[in-house]
Structure 1
Amino acid sequence: MKRVLLVALVFALIVTPIFAGGQGEGKGKDGKIVLKLGDTQAEEHPQTQSYYFFAKRLAELTDGRVEVQVFPNSALGNHRDMLEGIKMGTLQMTKCMATDLSAYFPKIQVFGLPYMFDSTEHLLKVVDGEVGEYFNNEIFPAEDFIALAWFDAGSRSIYNKTRPIYSTADTKGLLLRVPENNIYMSSMAAFGATGTPMPMGDIYSALQTGVIDGAENAFAVYDGMKHFEVAKYFSYTQHIMTPDVIIMKRSYLESLPQDIQKAIWQAAAEMEQEERRLWVESDMKFYERLKAAGVQFNDVDKSTFQAAAKSVWENYTAIIGQDLINKVQSYK
């Protein structure tokens, strides 16, 4: 019993300084504004590298008046934990998949519809245009959120430890990890597999011990989280292309001095472009490294997956709205 209490006390002493403070937090001992930025991705991930770029640029633009502290690799919990931290004022910035916001904004599941986007260019036109503005100006304010940047997060493909996937016939019976979001589970069910939600940090051991057969994600995660070590088959299903988004508490941002707000927006815009550049650059590097590590890549018959995806669209159109779907498709 004493040992349990001691461990709990030590954990509290470690974690409390990270999450200390409420809306009035963000001031360092030297008077600096401190912005804590949390994510689940590994240190080498291109998005993590873009955060350090942002931290450097913001310090330059504010003559050192703002310090950005980066917490990668799920140091502050999962996406849901960090979004709650944003709402509570214990965390200033986080990145999540757009669809992670669906518990607050069901319409944002438009970004999770399988085969909604046919290219990265299509996706970025959407988030950089009227649709991105619509969410930021009309939808996000309801929860006091604001999007500082939209990131390229690549396309998601299925990887597993059992067999190559060539069509939906090969996904039948597979248990695949998916994000904690109904539209991902619905997509896997449509493809004949079973999707099971699981925190990012648990995937490796679950693959290693056979708790799951595989997962689905982009190169950057497959490589960065070392999943290729325990799941050698990577099949280019490219079934979902969801942008990631940098979220901040709107009222907190607006409480900062005007010149600091301007600097944050400028640094965020530069970070957005840097992340997109790093993503493209990293994809080729990851592919070469994964190939050298013995990963077996294969193309798939996408027509079987696209046909199966129709049922997902039918089930979610009423939630998302046909007008919004049409708007997204109009950018093709």
Structure 2
Amino acid sequence: MSVRPTRRGLLAGGAALLAAPNLASAQGAARTLRFGHVHPPEGEVTRGIARAAEVLRERTGGRLRMDNFPSSQLGAEREMLTQVQQGTLDLCITGPGVLGSWVRAISILEAPFLASDFAQVLRMMNHPAIQGAFRQLADQRGMRPLEPWYYGTRHMTTRDRPIRVPEDMRGLKMRVPQAPLFVDMMRILGAAPTPMSLGEVYLSLQTGVIDGQENPLPTIEANKFTEVQRFINLTGHILVPLLPVLSTATFNALAEADREHVRVALREGAAVSDRLVSEGEQNLRTTMAARGTQFVESDRAAFRRALAPLYERYEEAWGRGVFAQLQAM
């Protein structure tokens, strides 16, 4: 069963971001939207974007198309987001922690141990603090967040050392996304954070530049990390939404009807990606174990306690009381 609940009544503010009025005509000119991202060609997100491209082409009779550029073909994640901001790239998809580099309040959506399931994440999107942060990103930073995709629950992988409690992380060189929240999380846990693009991770693990990384099981599988990692430590520390971001320049150039076509196409793509991620999380543990990967039951309660200083550090940036309000949704 898909992790994506019914959307009726959800994300009303996010839809308003995409449907804001302008002077564009009801139907715009032919256009090809370029969608750059870091995910591998065979990955769930790439397949979701491919579905979105199909839907967009079908809905517009081929007048609007979407070109899919996986595997960091157009640059590292932050480079592509800068291109979106400048209007030279139409779309990218990323985690809230990375977007927090531009508007810190958005990073709360990728805070450790915030959400219990993806339905809760979807409810969070309508919180006034989140909607305000999204408007700030759109109006001041040139990037419009759209409805989130499910990316899975993140676990830590390591080559030589199992991680059962936070103390086991001391001194480990751990890859993290290029996002301040992840860097701070690893430092608080005693590891040495090493930010890098997803496309660089396999070789860095293989050569010992880093000792481990953290990602959901489908991403670990798609990037073949178990070829160079022995342990998957089931920390389950973050339930991840991915946010497609549309360039404000592109948004302004699209007719109102075409904005709706893009939104619907991305929703259809999300349904495909979400389903594949959900199925992968259910099935991959057996597949990986059969190949020799060792699964470690980490003490999640101990990790939650160890990260208390992180929540205190980000309280002002997120807004006082917002973390507790989101947890309670």
TM-score, normalised to structure 1, is 0.85
Q: Which moved more, 1:134-143 or 1:37-46?
A: 134-143
Asked if 1:267 corresponds to 2:260, the answer is no
Q: Which moved more, 1:132-141 or 1:278-287?
A: 132-141
**Which residue is equivalent to 1:317?**
315
CA drift of 1:287 comes to 2.8
> Structure 1 stretches (4+) deviating beyond 6 angstroms?
none
- Partner residue of 1:306 out of 299, 304, 307: 304
In structure 2, do the counterparts of structure 1 residues 249 and 306 end up closer, same or farther at CA, with 3 Å as the change threshold?
A: same
- Partner residue of 2:86 out of 85, 88, 92: 88
Instruction: Write the mapping of 1:227-266 to structure 2, written as runs, cut at 5 A.
Output: 227-266=225-264
Q: C-alpha deviations, 1:181-235, integer Å up to 9, x for none?
A: 2221221122222211122122111111111111111112211111110002001
Secondary structure in 2 matching 1:154: strand
Asked if 1:76 corresponds to 2:40, the answer is no
Structure 2: tracts of 5 or more residues without a match: 1-28
Q: Which amino acid aligns with 1:226?
A: K
CA drift of 1:178 comes to 0.8
**Which residue is equivalent to 1:176?**
174
**Which residue is equivalent to 2:192?**
194
Residue pair 1:179, 1:197 contacting (<8 A) in 2 also: yes
Secondary structure in 1 matching 2:284: helix
Q: Which moved more, 1:200-209 or 1:54-63?
A: 200-209
Q: Which moved more, 1:280-289 or 1:42-51?
A: 280-289
CA drift of 1:251 comes to 3.7
In structure 2, do the counterparts of structure 1 residues 75 and 139 end up closer, same or farther at CA, with 3 Å as the change threshold?
A: closer
Relative to its length, the structure with more helix (as a share) is 1
Residue pair 1:178, 1:215 contacting (<8 A) in 2 also: yes
Asked if 1:226 corresponds to 2:230, the answer is no
CA drift of 1:81 comes to 0.8
Identical aligned pairs, as a percentage?
A: 26
Asked if 1:99 corresponds to 2:97, the answer is yes
- Looking at structure 2, the residues matched to 200 and 113 of structure 1 have their Cα atoms a distance apart, in angstroms, of 19
- Looking at structure 2, the residues matched to 35 and 320 of structure 1 have their Cα atoms a distance apart, in angstroms, of 33
Secondary structure in 2 matching 1:241: strand
- Looking at structure 2, the residues matched to 36 and 251 of structure 1 have their Cα atoms a distance apart, in angstroms, of 13
In structure 2, do the counterparts of structure 1 residues 278 and 129 end up closer, same or farther at CA, with 3 Å as the change threshold?
A: farther
- Partner residue of 2:147 out of 146, 149, 154: 149
Structure with higher RCO (Cα < 8 A, 6+ apart): 2
- Looking at structure 2, the residues matched to 158 and 230 of structure 1 have their Cα atoms a distance apart, in angstroms, of 13
Q: Which amino acid aligns with 1:207?
A: L
Residue pair 1:86, 1:92 contacting (<8 A) in 2 also: yes
Q: C-alpha deviations, 1:63-111, integer Å up to 9, x for none?
A: 1101111000111111111111112221111101111111210111212
Residue pair 2:50, 2:68 contacting (<8 A) in 1 also: yes
- Looking at structure 1, the residues matched to 250 and 196 of structure 2 have their Cα atoms a distance apart, in angstroms, of 31
TM-score, normalised to structure 2, is 0.86
CA drift of 1:310 comes to 0.3
Residue pair 1:115, 1:309 contacting (<8 A) in 2 also: no
Asked if 1:327 corresponds to 2:328, the answer is no
Q: Which amino acid aligns with 1:268?
A: L
- Looking at structure 2, the residues matched to 47 and 230 of structure 1 have their Cα atoms a distance apart, in angstroms, of 23
Q: What's the Cα RMSD here?
A: 1.8
Residue pair 1:46, 1:282 contacting (<8 A) in 2 also: no
Residue pair 2:151, 2:242 contacting (<8 A) in 1 also: yes
- Looking at structure 2, the residues matched to 204 and 79 of structure 1 have their Cα atoms a distance apart, in angstroms, of 16
CA drift of 1:138 comes to 4.9
Q: C-alpha deviations, 1:132-157, integer Å up to 9, x for none?
A: 54443454322122122211111211
- Looking at structure 1, the residues matched to 183 and 138 of structure 2 have their Cα atoms a distance apart, in angstroms, of 24
CA drift of 1:319 comes to 1.7
Give the number of aligned pairs.
Answer: 301
